[in-house]
Amino acid sequence: MAKKQNNQIDKLFVIPNRTWNVLIVVIVFLFYGNTIRNEFSMDDEYVTTTYNQKNKLTELGISGIGKIFTTNSFIDGKQNYEYRPIALYSFAIEWTLFKNSENRVHISHFINVLLYAMIGLLLFQLLIYLFQAQSSLFSGLIVILFLIHPIHSEVVNSLKNRDELFSLLFAILAAIYSFKWIDKNKWFYLFLALLFVSLSLLSKKSNLPFIVTIPLMLYFFRDLSIKKIGITFLALFSVKILFNLVRNHWMNLDDTTTRNFGTFENPLFELGFIERIPMFFYTNYLYLEKLLFPYPLAYYYGYDAIELVGFTDLRFYIGIIIVLIGLYFIINGFMKKSILSFGILFFFLAIGGVANLLSPMVGIFAERFAFSASIGFCIVIVYLLSLWKKKEFEKNHFNFSVAAPMLIIVISSFFYSINRNKDWSTKKSLYLADIDKVSKSAKANSLLASEYQVEAMKLQKEGSISYTELMQKVDSAIFYYDQSLKIFKKYESNLNNKGVLIYTYKYDYPEALGLFKFSISFNQNYKEGYLNCGNAESKIAEVYHDLLIISNSKDTLQSISNQEIDLFENQFTVSKMHQAVSIIKQFEQNLKSFVQNKKKGDIRGQIIDNALNLESLNSTLKNKSFATKISSIVNTKNTPAQQIYNNIIATNNQFRKELLDESCKQLNISNEKQYKLLLSLKNRKQKLARNFFKTALKLSNNDKNYMQIISQMALLSQDFEWIAELQEMYIQLHPKDYLGKNYAELINSLIASKNKQKAQKYCYQLINIETEYIKKNPGKFYGEQYVRKANALLTLENNLEAFENFRKGADEFKREIESLEKKTNKNTSDSQRIEMLKREIENLKRFKERIMNQKPIK
């Protein structure tokens, strides 16, 4: 800045520093104090433990400093990326201090507001150093305009964006100490400047441009030699080099699972440098437009909320004009060291890295990306205001003509920011508030759909809402997934998630399977898609297994063509017969749950309501008056509960038979062919399921959770050979684990698949494992261990020892029941465990009696 200009600024009305500092803090808490009442919101789970999701790194607490500073910061179960340890460690400290406090989330929001106030205070101090005034109205107005700008609401409200706050705070400190180094000629201050640049990069790389901006500040606001400025630049730049060396070579950062970017986030990820040029100029225009007119604000933009522009688009040329105008003022005022030139240069340097040229940005555009750049914008606005009211500024009169435009901006920004803060109260409140503004954003629709899905799953588990309300949330989730897929049909996670909803709540496994297959057609490494394809195929196989049981036909070895099999499968699926049979199966599972858990209230009413709810999902069941028939059975007077249960099962089998016969009749498939048809379809589906599962296991590196899910699905579809194969694989992969249950499942599967000789071989290993477990784990309950030993001994035809272990198992179950009943504060799980153990004792009695009646003990 020219010396004359500095003198003009010094003459401005002087307000004491203390008054400015108080005003800055008051304004921050006036504008953002209501954020302290907010809960967790978008992406907060990436940095701290929320109500619905744990963050393992945060929960390491203060003592986790070594792990936090030597690993990637963001882990979402699928991807592991970014290195931002400073903000993450701040949440770890909070966890240590406040993890048991109900107000932990509110404390986190308070800290965000406090950091924002500190940025305001430090920015004011930096501007004082720049303009060399003891106190300056010019500097104060820049800071106030910066602090009240609504575009910063995302950074302040989002706990995840604390990294932006820390990054700018440390960058400003680095600039302050760079000026102290120059003004006081003490190398210690340069060391502090380098330290704060390092901390800024460890927070987030958003303010990397300060490595260039700080030397430019020295050029514009001090009369220095090029050598002095060059030394400062090289010193700052060396921090970046050292940061890269430490991060890439001396730390155990896992770069094998770095984040994968999708077209729905930014289609520019798939385009080249030349194709990104038009969007670079258009993005600069978008940020300037949003800084001038910050309405509407939204939590996510991305594809297709922001359209891509090409070389023939008018918006590209508008962007070029804006950039050229900016360059003109930069060049014109550079040698003069004008404030206008510096402000524009500051803006372009800060925004250039997020303008989609060198590297496309997630979401194409984001309000948080303008956080630092807005400082340059505010410098330009206040400078223009000083030119407009030059006479008043020169007379040091901060009169009404100057105050009026500022008051208009402050008041309008205040009400806008206050309301915007409320939008950020929770994830759902934010998504609902903004969805109409970014209805064309694939990601925005997906996020809202996901929130409805999570909410539905949580409420179903709690059982706290009616079925109608639950299905409204399910249908809302499906609606927004559909909206997202209309915008971007290759969004594999949306296809998968929609399929999960249809699979879980509507029991239409063929329709869900179609969505799962569609998802893996776009991403052949999408392990969740393969897993769910296997799950759906297994459930379909289960349906054919159930139909096999009630089919009147027998295996006459009559051949049946693949064409007939395909026609039947298509007919059974298209007519929703498959869904109807699946719903009947689900009703029976719910019926068992009602009876076994002995739910409080009217069990008969629960059964009837469940029949009505499930019937509403399928028109065929409605037409057959499924719920009415179930209701008439349940309401039959003077009928024992067991008889009612048996009558319901018999009626359900009749429904199954009718659905099967109707489908066969439509295709002229004779009763004689039914068995062969169903068996062929069951085997086909089991084989397909197994292939999908094998691919999912391979992609997941034989993940334990995947194996457990797959084993459960194989059990439901009665694919015992596959269960045995899975258990053998698991045992081989995890030899150091306690594998009693795995060996028991393997033995049962081998017996079911008629491989008794191999099963007996594993029985000896199981007996040794359980014996060792009982010896090495004193003070526990061993009911399950003794029962597994007893079953293994029965398989080895050692009935005497088997019965002795059954007796010990029953005694252990009784001992555990006594222990649980003595607890003063029994919870629901304790009560459920007691009921389960009592059933196990009764089952053991009946089992022993049945064995004794069939074969004498030797």
Which string of DSSP letters, residue by residue, matches 234-269?
HHHHHHHHHHHHHHHHSS----TTPPPP-TTT-GGG
Bond preceding residue 856 cis, omega within 30 of 0: no
* Tens digits of residue pLDDT in 638-693: 888 888 889 999 999 999 999 988 888 888 887 778 888 898 999 999 999 999 99
Residue 531: pLDDT above 70?
yes
* Tens digits of residue pLDDT in 263-284: 888 888 888 999 999 999 999 9
On the CB side of 823, CA atoms within 13 Å amount to: 14
DSSP single-letter state for residue 13 = P
Residue 564: pLDDT above 70?
yes
79 alpha carbon, distance to own chain's centre:
11
Q: Are 290 and 150 in contact (CB under 8 A)?
A: no
Instruction: Name every residue whose Cβ is closer than 8 Å to that of residue 554 and which is 6 or more positions away in sequence.
Output: 675
Cα distance between the two ends of the chain: 104
Q: How far apart are CA 519 and CA 424, in angstroms?
A: 32
Q: How far apart are CA 409 and CA 415, in angstroms?
A: 10
Q: How far apart are CA 161 and CA 180, in angstroms?
A: 29
Mapped onto helix, strand or coil, the DSSP state of residue 94 is helix
DSSP single-letter state for residue 426 = S
Structure-block tokens of residue 651: 């009626």
Q: Which of 671, 619, 628, 672 is nearest to 651 (CA)?
A: 628
Q: How far apart are CA 439 and CA 441, in angstroms?
A: 6
Q: Which of 728, 729, 690 is nearest to 710 (CA)?
A: 690
* Tens digits of residue pLDDT in 379-427: 999 999 888 766 654 554 555 666 778 888 999 999 999 999 999 999 9
Backbone angles phi, psi at 268, to 5 degrees: -65, -15
Tell me, what's the pLDDT at 8?
A: 41
* Tens digits of residue pLDDT in 799-817: 889 889 999 999 999 999 9
Backbone angles phi, psi at 152, to 5 degrees: -85, 0
Q: Which residue has the tokens 């296991």?
A: 697
Structure-block tokens of residue 398: 């901060």
Residue type, 465: I
| Helix pair angle (187-203, 85-98), 10° resolution | 80
Q: Which of 850, 749, 843, 831 is nearest to 787 (CA)?
A: 843
Mapped onto helix, strand or coil, the DSSP state of residue 554 is coil
Residue 634: pLDDT above 80?
yes
- By the 10 Å C-beta count (0-12 exposed, 13-18 middle, 19+ buried), 594 is classed as middle
Residue 164: pLDDT above 70?
yes
Q: Give the domains, in start order, of the chain with CATH numbers.
A: 3-249 (no CATH), 525-699 (no CATH), 700-854 (1.25.40.10)
**Residues forming beta bridges with residue 75, ordered by sequence position:** 80
> What's the per-residue H, E or C state across 498-535?
HHHHHHHHHCCHHHHHHHHHHHHHHCCCCHHHHHHHHH
Q: Which residue has the tokens 């600039």?
A: 175
**Residues forming beta bridges with residue 80, ordered by sequence position:** 75
The mean pLDDT of 91-109, rounded to a whole number, is 96
Q: How far apart are CA 62 and CA 68, in angstroms?
A: 10
> What's the per-residue H, E or C state across 707-767?
HHHHHHHHHHCCCHHHHHHHHHHHHHHCCCCCCHHHHHHHHHHHHHCCCHHHHHHHHHHHH
Bigger pLDDT: 475 or 6?
A: 475
Q: How far apart are CA 215 and CA 232, in angstroms?
A: 6
Q: Are 689 and 717 in contact (CB under 8 A)?
A: yes
380 alpha carbon, distance to own chain's centre:
40
Weakest mean pLDDT among 7-21, 230-244, 399-413: 7-21
**Residues forming beta bridges with residue 81, ordered by sequence position:** 74
Q: How far apart are CA 330 and CA 321, in angstroms?
A: 14
Residue 120: pLDDT above 80?
yes
Residue 853: pLDDT above 70?
no
**Residues forming beta bridges with residue 512, ordered by sequence position:** none
Stated length of the chain: 858
Residue type, 7: N
Tell me, what's the pLDDT at 855?
A: 53
Mapped onto helix, strand or coil, the DSSP state of residue 393 is helix
